[in-house]
């Protein structure tokens, strides 16, 4: 588990983040503000645009609230926090 900050972000989101990374508030804000999120709950946020499709279903970049902070969960089906890519 690594702590990732917006200040150190280089390349694309998918190049920078790895499943299990904890992100700072600026990256969380990016997830919420870049597009209207497809999922916005107290403990789950998913970007509003699909990253890919798996089994014919879209996957979304996903953050889940944990005891350590917001954790990047990868690209998950809507409403889920299980990486599908």
Within a domain: 84: no
Within a domain: 82: no
Side-chain-side CA neighbours of 15 within 13 Å: the count stands at 5
Residue closest to 22 by CA, chosen among 60, 59, 51, 63: 63
Within a domain: 32: yes
> What is the number of domains present in the chain?
1
Within a domain: 85: no
CA trace torsion 33, 34, 39, 41 (10° rounding): -20
Q: What is the pTM of this model?
A: 0.94
Domain housing 23: 3-77
Within a domain: 52: yes
In tens, the pLDDT along 20-51 reads 999 999 999 999 999 999 999 999 999 999 99
Within a domain: 47: yes
């Amino acid at each position: 588990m690594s702590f990732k900050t917006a200040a150190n972000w280089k390349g694309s989101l998918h190049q920078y983040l790895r499943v299990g990374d904890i992100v700072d508030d600026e990256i969380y804000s990016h997830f919420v503000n870049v597009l209207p999120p497809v999922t916005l709950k107290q403990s789950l946020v998913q970007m509003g645009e699909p990253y890919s499709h798996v089994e014919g279903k879209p996957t979304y970049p996903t953050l889940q609230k944990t005891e350590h902070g917001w954790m990047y969960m990868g690209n998950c089906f809507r409403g889920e926090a299980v990486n599908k890519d």
